[in-house]
Each structure stands twice: as structure tokens, then as C-alpha cells.
Amino acid sequence: MSRFSKTLLASALTLVAGGANASAFQLAEVSTSGLGMAYAGNAAVADNASVIATNPALMTRFQGAEMSVGGILVDTDLH
């Protein structure tokens, strides 16, 4: 295989791989309560301690120590 062919093949694979990046799967769980509201207004409402992941200034709104615990289960069904 010539050097030109290798370069052409590597360039083609690089361009094709960009499309695979667009179809990636992302789990954006900052908080389970925020996930239930689709994160609408989550950065402005200090209703639980998980808001400090998106807006650390909201820590000043808490009167005492806060803790937020949640869980996410991804149940896949592959055949």
C-alpha cells in the first residue's frame, strides 16, 4: 500500500468517525430531583444540596448542613 493510499485511508476514517461521536449516549444525572423536572430552573432554586453542582453560590441559601442522595438505575433489555 502506497503512502498516499495510507494517508487517504486515515483521512477518510477520521472524517467518518465524527459521525459516530454525534450518536453518543450520555447520562447527565446531576441530581435525581432535577432529572424529574428535566433540570428546568435547577440552577436557580436551592431546594436541596445537589444544586451546588450547577451553581455553587446557592450554598449561601442553606441554613445548616445539607446532604443529597439519589440513585439512577439503567435497566437495559438487549436481545
> 0.85 exceeded by the pTM?
no
Distance CA 66, CA 48 (A): 7
| Cα–Cα distance measured from residue 13 to residue 27, given in angstroms and rounded to the nearest whole number | 27
Cα 74–chain centre separation = 14
3-state per-residue secondary structure call for 9-21: HHHHHHHHHHHHH
pLDDT at 14: 82
> Does position 18 have pLDDT exceeding 70, yes or no?
no
According to the model, what pLDDT value does residue 73 have?
A: 78
Tell me the average pLDDT of the chain: 77
> Residue 1 carries which DSSP code?
-
pLDDT at 9 over 70: yes
Q: What is the pLDDT of residues 45-77, one digit of tens each?
A: 777 788 887 788 888 888 888 888 877 777 878
Share of the chain above pLDDT 70, in %: 70
> Which pLDDT score, from 0 to 100, does residue 24 have?
61
